[in-house]
Amino acid sequence: MTTSSRAARRKAPRCLRRECKAGSIELSLTPEQFVALGEQPPFVGKSLRFFISYHHSDGRLAGKIKESLEEYGAEVFVAHDDLQGGVAWQNEVLRSLKQADVFVAVLTPNFRSSKFTDQEIGVAVSEQKLIIPLMVDRDSVPHGFISPIQGFRFQFTRERGSDQEVPDCDLAAADVVNHILATQYRPQLVDSIIRAFINSSSFVQANSRVKFVEKIKDSLSPEHVLGIIREGFLNRQIYDGNVASRVLRETILPQHSAVNPEMISELTTFLNR
């Protein structure tokens, strides 16, 4: 066996080893082609960066919004209480704010009593950031420089294991993402969604994130598709994810078959095993 063949068998998914078979389906890809897949650099693309402005007493809510946005591959900055204080912290906050593409203001009854939030809004306005207010109730509305901006109101859901209703951060993140898709930041968001999907580290992630990819399938570039092809063969969370594999083979890959007809045909066969 050649060195490249040994490398191919190490890189290929377990079910593709042994004469490149997936169950009873025999694929025409050679071990050398699997080496090429493994050596192809993974898709990286651009990042969409968020800055979340909030009152320190609402840190748990801000943290949950951060987690929900990160599912779309976004980079999200949240200044935690234990970081507050001193020039170094203020410089870090200012740097992150200036680097951000999107400024999210978490408007609660506490928001305006913060020493920092109005200053952060002022910087966001002067830096011409895309500003998106998230309102927790009818009284927590955009004020000052951002008063003309229409925000999104949280929907509430019952917390698991409790009778308490809490803001649904997943739905809020979906509102934010849908809004951004209609702005100049759509390309960065699409890149971020693809990167998050192909780097899925669990079946739950892959099966959930593929739905985001399906939503933006009309915006996929050849580079996006090639990145999906690579991880479709190499990332078990994708090729063995029941929802991820089905959506890829039935919806996403057929629409982009012209990018690489041979590889897409092989991947579709593999995902259908």
More confident residue, 264 or 164: 264
pLDDT digits (tens, 9 = 90+) for 145-160: 999 999 999 999 987 7
Amino acid at 225: V
- Would you say residue 149 lies in a domain? yes
What mean pLDDT comes out for the span 220-236? 94
The reply to whether 53 falls in a domain is: yes
Is position 10 within any domain? no
CA atoms of 238 and 240, how far apart (whole Å): 6
From 154, 186, 218, give the residue that closes a domain.
Answer: 186
Are 58 and 149 contained in the same domain? yes
Same domain, 128 and 211: no
Q: Is residue 40 part of a domain?
A: no
Q: Is the residue at 77 inside a domain?
A: yes
User: How sure is the predictor about 8, in pLDDT bands with cuts at 50, 70 and 90?
Assistant: very low
Does residue 252 fall inside a structural domain? Answer: yes
Cα dihedral: 107, 109, 114, 116 (round 10) = 10
- Residues 165, 228 share a domain: no
The CATH code of the domain that includes 93 is 3.40.50.450
- 139 lies in the same domain as 88: yes
pLDDT of residue 91: 87
Question: pLDDT above 70 covers what percent of the chain?
Answer: 84
The widest CA-to-CA distance across the chain, in whole angstroms, is: 71
Q: How far apart are CA 236 and CA 79, in angstroms?
A: 35
What pLDDT was estimated at residue 21?
Answer: 41
- pLDDT band for position 17 (50/70/90)? very low
For 21, list phi and psi in degrees, rounded to 5.
Answer: -110, 145
Regarding whether 168 and 204 lie in a shared domain, the answer is: no
pLDDT at 252: 98
Question: Which domain does 170 fall in, by range?
Answer: 49-186
Q: How many domains does the chain have?
A: 2
Burial 125-139 (b: 16+ CB within 10 A, else e): eeeebbbbbbbbeee
pLDDT at residue 84 in the model: 57
Same domain, 214 and 180: no
pLDDT interval class at 222 (50, 70, 90): very high
Residue 272 falls inside a structural domain:
yes
The domain boundary, picked from 161, 186, 211, lies at 186
What is the model's pTM?
Answer: 0.86
* Strand ranges inside 143-265, DSSP E: 152-153, 156-158, 165-167
Tokens 């308490």 correspond to 164
Averaged pLDDT score across all residues of the chain:
87
Give CA angle at 55 (58, 104), nearest 5°.
90
Whether 27 maps to a domain, the answer reads: no
